[in-house]
């Protein structure tokens, strides 16, 4: 595997963090050969990344660097945080080069890094918006102008490039800027300027830079930026998570991407410092998000206004904002919580968000994107090939590029399998390397066979997803029933002396699950969403011609049938069920309200077979209505 020997290749480097239970496994050591992720990652490399690079050129994002370097004479293009799109693209391209050889991509990466370096000021400062005529406005509006956010993405890109390729070209650029930031911001009594970032991101970046370089001042600087939040430096608004000190927070509020990026950074800080007040706040916030403010898709941030979290149970479907970037931030945060705690509930949410809140953000051809992800739509919400504010496209690309790094973890002498897909891995475990081969058609099929190529006693822990009913997952070791615990929402931990060729088979129940939401989510009352395995389903007009999806009433107890359709939507399992068709009666003609009468008896309604498809695949055919929450009886 490319790079596995030379480079670290871990996405979040908690390999030496004192306060984590799980150690990461290099993505260079994991090969996905499945039919779900492999084609998506190939499209990401072959189609998405080159197309995005072309956009970075066409939209002037790279020219902004050339301009700042004095190479061209042109006005600044676009929005003041456009540098960050170049950085996120570089991160995506770097992780891609860690697993796949691609000379064209490599050339683009090198070219972009050259442009970036040339734009750096002698003092290390680097932001193309605050160059030339705006140089004097540097750091004058931390609340709104995203300078530290862009710096964070530069650092993340540099660390990724270094870990993925071994090259330290961009890392040197990033360190110079990071040093400048450390020299600039801090307590007044140290002769520095108090300040923190209006859009969080740099916290994670600085901790990762500390991990990559060993230089503790970056960790201290990340802590400083976190510690001064909630003291009014940003105006005290919930929008910026500046309404109170982080350690006192207990609700997910404000701009959703900012909020989860902040939490990911705080988790990184905990991993290095063990500060229990950080962990307590993170656990409160996670509980608040997952029990009050998260869509059934795993999407977060329900409001268009401020791209923000709403109140408890405020989860509108048509007008869901549920930004793709917020879902990606949730994956990043959950991954760090998983590393810290080893607790499978974080892996459950991570997988769920990945399939049902991140993936819908990308078209099947890898060429267009959703910014908002509604859970119902009349047919007008369609993906775009790019945005003026283009945070989501390269964000999806970097997650797909780094995805193999999320599959496994190591806890002392135990291998944790977090995610399932056909493929193999070589996992370093206390001085030796253990080979694992997964054979499965997951997420379409619940049978997962893992062949172990290793010898001696160690643990193998398989995640039993929380969506399995207790006792429904079965495990066999070399054909014999495993009698240890296999509790859903936890890892089934198999510890034994292994021999090469040993096989473990995990069988997860792939029944269709109608899911209801808490009665305080008003819009979903009397409705269910269909799930199967890790996947959320929806109805689309394309599969249900002649039906108004709003009239469909599905039976809570089925029957539901599942059918693999290799030629549909890139290959999916579709669901079928007989449903009632409850047309609004004639009394509704031309009316919006009417006097209610007591219901007498069961209505007689015509029935129709309806077809549901995975929610991640919606809006890849002709425009039409889509619905996740279905009326049920």
Catalogue the active-site residues: 307, 391
For the beta carbon of residue 453, count every other beta carbon within 10 angstroms. 16
**Cβ 598 to a second copy shortest distance, Å:** 5
What H or E segment, with its residue span, contains residue 477? strand 474-477
Tokens 């473990």 -> residue: 504
Q: Within 302-361, which residues bind a second copy (CB under 8 A)?
A: 303-305, 310-312, 314, 316-319
Which residues are within 8 A (CB) of 255 and not within 5 positions of it... i.e. 6 or more apart? 199, 239, 240, 241, 301, 306, 307, 308
Closest CA to 49 of 354, 400, 319, 414: 400
**Cβ 337 to a second copy shortest distance, Å:** 16
**Cβ 299 to a second copy shortest distance, Å:** 12
CB 424 within 8 A of CB 31: yes
Contact map string, positions 466 to 495, toward a second copy, x by CB under 8 A:
---x--------------------------
Using the rule CB under 8 A, which residue among 50, 245, 274, 378 binds a second copy?
378
Q: Which is nearer to a second copy, 308 or 328 (CB)?
A: 308
**Cβ 305 to a second copy shortest distance, Å:** 5
CA 141 to mean position of chain CA atoms:
29
Taking CB under 8 A as the binding criterion, the range among 56-64, 451-459, 593-601, 602-610 that sits at the site for a second copy is 593-601
Tokens 């390729």 -> residue: 165
Using the rule CB under 8 A, which residue among 133, 190, 480, 594 binds a second copy?
594
Q: Which is nearer to a second copy, 87 or 309 (CB)?
A: 309
Enumerate the β-bridge partners of residue 358: none
* Alpha-carbon span 461 to 463, nearest angstrom: 7
* Alpha-carbon span 432 to 610, nearest angstrom: 52
Q: Which is nearer to a second copy, 481 or 600 (CB)?
A: 600
Using the rule CB under 8 A, which residue among 73, 133, 592, 622 binds a second copy?
592
Residue 556 interacts with a second copy (CB under 8 A): yes or no:
yes
Closest CA to 539 of 451, 465, 613: 613
* Alpha-carbon span 259 to 253, nearest angstrom: 7
**Cβ 556 to a second copy shortest distance, Å:** 5
Q: Within 247-306, which residues bind a second copy (CB under 8 A)?
A: 287, 290-292, 294, 296, 303-305
Which residues are within 8 A (CB) of 588 and not within 5 positions of it... i.e. 6 or more apart? 594
Taking CB under 8 A as the binding criterion, the range among 32-40, 207-215, 242-250, 526-534 that sits at the site for a second copy is 526-534
CB 367 within 8 A of CB 296: no
**Cβ 555 to a second copy shortest distance, Å:** 8
**Cβ 597 to a second copy shortest distance, Å:** 7
Residue 76 interacts with a second copy (CB under 8 A): yes or no:
no
Residue 632 interacts with a second copy (CB under 8 A): yes or no:
yes
Q: Residue by residue, what is the 3-state secondary structure of 236-270?
A: CCHHHCCCCCHHHCCCCCCEHHHHHHHHHHHHHHH
What H or E segment, with its residue span, contains residue 198? none
Q: Which is nearer to a second copy, 316 or 361 (CB)?
A: 316
Which residues are within 8 A (CB) of 446 and not within 5 positions of it... i.e. 6 or more apart? 507, 508, 509, 510, 533
Residue 387 interacts with a second copy (CB under 8 A): yes or no:
no
Using the rule CB under 8 A, which residue among 520, 564, 606, 609 binds a second copy?
520
Using the rule CB under 8 A, which residue among 103, 431, 501, 590 binds a second copy?
590
Q: Which is nearer to a second copy, 162 or 292 (CB)?
A: 292
Closest CA to 346 of 422, 398, 395, 279: 279
Residue 514 interacts with a second copy (CB under 8 A): yes or no:
yes
Extract the tokens encoding 414.
């135990």
Enumerate the β-bridge partners of residue 496: 458
Using the rule CB under 8 A, which residue among 47, 54, 389, 522 binds a second copy?
522
Residue 588 interacts with a second copy (CB under 8 A): yes or no:
yes
Find the radius of gyration of the CA atoms of the chain.
Answer: 25
Residue 526 interacts with a second copy (CB under 8 A): yes or no:
yes
Closest CA to 14 of 161, 202, 210, 158: 210
Taking CB under 8 A as the binding criterion, the range among 107-115, 159-167, 484-492, 512-520 that sits at the site for a second copy is 512-520
Residue 235 interacts with a second copy (CB under 8 A): yes or no:
no
Residue 595 interacts with a second copy (CB under 8 A): yes or no:
yes
* Alpha-carbon span 250 to 515, nearest angstrom: 27
Taking CB under 8 A as the binding criterion, the range among 186-194, 211-219, 570-578, 625-633 that sits at the site for a second copy is 625-633
Name the region of 366 (left: φ>0; alpha: ψ -120 to 50; beta: rest).
left
CB 160 within 8 A of CB 199: no
Q: In the complex, which residues of this chain contact a second copy (CB under 8 A)? A: 287, 290-292, 294, 296, 303-305, 310-312, 314, 316-319, 376, 378, 469, 513-523, 525-529, 550, 556-557, 582, 584, 588, 590-599, 629, 631-632
């Amino acid at each position: 595997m490319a790079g596995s020997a030379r480079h670290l290749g871990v996405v979040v480097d908690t390999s030496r963090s004192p306060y984590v239970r799980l150690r990461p496994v290099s993505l260079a050591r994991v090969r996905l050969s499945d039919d779900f992720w492999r084609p998506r990652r190939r499209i990401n490399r072959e189609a998405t990344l080159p197309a995005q690079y072309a956009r970075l050129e066409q939209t002037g994002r790279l020219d902004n660097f050339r301009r700042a370097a004095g190479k061209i004479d042109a006005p600044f293009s676009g929005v003041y945080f456009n540098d960050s799109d170049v950085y996120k693209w570089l991160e995506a391209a770097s992780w891609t080069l860690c697993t796949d050889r691609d000379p064209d991509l490599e050339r683009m990466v090198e070219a972009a890094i050259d442009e970036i370096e040339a734009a750096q000021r002698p003092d290390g400062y680097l932001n193309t918006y605050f160059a030339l005529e705006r140089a004097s406005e540097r750091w004058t509006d931390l609340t709104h102008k995203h300078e530290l956010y862009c710096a964070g993405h530069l650092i993340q890109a540099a660390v990724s490039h270094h870990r993925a390729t071994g090259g330290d070209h961009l890392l040197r650029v990033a360190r110079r800027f990071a040093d400048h930031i450390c020299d600039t911001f801090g307590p007044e009594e140290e002769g520095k300027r108090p300040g923190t970032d209006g859009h969080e991101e740099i916290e994670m970046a600085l901790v990762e830079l500390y991990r990559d370089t060993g230089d503790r001042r970056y960790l201290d600087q990340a802590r400083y930026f976190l510690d001064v939040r909630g003291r009014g430096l940003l105006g005290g608004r919930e929008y910026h998570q500046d309404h109170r000190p982080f350690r006192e927070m207990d609700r997910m509020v404000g701009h959703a991407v900012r909020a989860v990026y902040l939490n990911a950074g705080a988790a990184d800080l905990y991993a290095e410092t063990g500060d229990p007040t950080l962990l307590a706040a993170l656990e409160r916030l996670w509980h608040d998000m997952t029990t009050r403010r998260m869509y059934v898709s795993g999407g977060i941030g329900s409001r268009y206004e401020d791209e923000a979290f709403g109140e408890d149970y405020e989860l509108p479907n048509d007008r869901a904002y549920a930004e793709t970037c917020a879902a990606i931030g949730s994956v990043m945060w959950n991954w760090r919580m998983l590393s810290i705690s080893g607790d499978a509930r974080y892996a459950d949410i991570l997988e769920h968000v990945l399939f049902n809140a991140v993936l819908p953000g990308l078209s099947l051809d890898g060429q267009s994107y959703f910014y908002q992800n509604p859970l119902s739509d009349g047919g007008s919400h369609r993906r775009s090939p790019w945005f003026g504010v283009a945070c989501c496209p390269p964000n999806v690309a970097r997650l797909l590029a780094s995805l193999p790094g999320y599959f496994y973890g190591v806890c002392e002498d135990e291998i944790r399998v977090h995610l399932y897909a056909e493929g193999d891995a070589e996992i370093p475990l206390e001085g030796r390397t253990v080979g694992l081969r997964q054979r499965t058609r997951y997420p379409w099929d619940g049978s997962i066979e893992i062949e172990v190529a290793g010898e001696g006693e160690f643990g193998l822990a398989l995640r039993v997803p929380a969506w399995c009913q207790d006792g429904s997952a079965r495990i066999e070791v070399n054909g014999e029933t495993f009698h240890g615990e296999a509790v859903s929402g936890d890892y089934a931990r198999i510890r034994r002396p292994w021999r090469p060729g040993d096989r473990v088979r995990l069988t997860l129940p792939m029944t269709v699950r109608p899911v209801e939401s808490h009665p305080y989510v008003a819009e979903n009352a009397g409705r269910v969403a269909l799930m199967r395995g890790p996947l959320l389903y929806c109805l689309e007009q394309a599969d249900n011609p002649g039906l108004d999806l709003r009239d469909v009433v599905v039976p809570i107890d089925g029957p539901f049938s599942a059918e693999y359709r290799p030629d549909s939507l890139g290959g999916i399992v579709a669901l079928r069920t007989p449903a009632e068709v409850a047309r609004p009666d004639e009394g509704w003609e031309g009316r919006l309200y009417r006097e209610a009468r007591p219901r007498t008896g069961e209505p007689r309604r015509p029935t129709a077979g309806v077809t549901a498809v995975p929610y991640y695949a919606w809006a890849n055919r002709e425009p039409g209505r889509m619905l996740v929450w279905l009326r049920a009886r």
